[in-house]
Structure 1
């Protein structure tokens, strides 16, 4: 039972972070974001919410699996969880920089750091649970795309 509670707790925390960062995002989509220039490969607005919801669930499940290994190797789990929490905070920060401050340049440099932290989280998770690590790969791929998108928006809107 404790293992399920851990997984549900981390999933709920990830979804809560996503929800809180979406508040500033939703406010700016029909205003600022609607009028800025975007690249031709920009996805439709409706795709972001379901993709992010799925990614938050997957990353939460992955982190829950890691937490459930705490009795086997407390130090590795603690280290991996620190990286996980840092990348989760950086994930939320991106929304505030891009949508809240309406600053694609600052958001671009921040998302580079986010990408590096996700990759390091993946590496830390892989040392503990390969399934948990693989669950982060779609997230890493999406943030790779988001990095390209953010950089393109910055370039198109100097």
Structure 2
């Protein structure tokens, strides 16, 4: 019974980031071929085919890392408020980026979102380091991807004038 519960928690924490990622893709998927492909992007922009694979790996690592932190802190104890609160806040900003970028086509708001996300992710990793180094290391690829995504968002924002939703230039 205890093993079943721990297995359920492990799976639940690991799957959770995928939920928002999937919803972000689902609601914005039509904007990708219509709008995103027309944007001016730098030569180092990853292929569209890379994003689903990258996010599957990143969300899985992120989710499992959050489980390790939760487990090491004994669940939702008072010790978990800051480390898991930072995790939840950065996850919310992660999930908010696609609606800003693709849904609202608001490149400036997407840039502000990802800059705040970067800060929260770094703060989260700092708060996790003393709790579980493996969990922290599992977040390193995510931080690397965020660095690339931040540079990409900044470059796209600078190279493409803001458009209002509904315009298809």
For the aligned pair, the TM-score class normalised by the smaller chain equals: over 0.9
Partner of residue 63, structure 1: 66
- Asked if the contact 1:7/1:63 (under 8 Å) is kept, the reply is no
**1:104-130 Cα deviation digits (max 9, x unpaired):** 111011100000011111111112101
Matched length: 158
TM-score (norm 1): 0.94
1:4-34: CA deviation from partner (whole Å, max 9, x where unpaired)? 3222111111111110111233121110001
Show the counterpart of 1:49: 52
Question: Partner residue of 2:123?
Answer: 120
Q: When the two structures are superposed, what TM-score results if normalisation uses the length of structure 2?
A: 0.89
Structure with higher Rg: it is: 2
Query: 1:87-126, aligned counterparts within 5 Å?
Result: 87-126=90-129
- Name stretches of at least 5 consecutive residues in structure 2 with no aligned partner: 162-169
Aligned to 1:24: 27
- Give the superposition deviation at 1:70: 2.5
**Which ranges in structure 1 are unaligned for 5 or more consecutive residues?**
none
Q: Counterpart of 2:44 in 1: which secondary structure?
A: coil
Equivalents in 1 of 2:81, 2:159: separation in Å? 41
**Structure 2 counterpart of 1:143, from 130, 142, 146:** 146
**More helix per residue: 1 or 2?**
1
Answer with 6-15 or 145-154: which moved more.
6-15
- SS, match of residue 81 in structure 1: helix
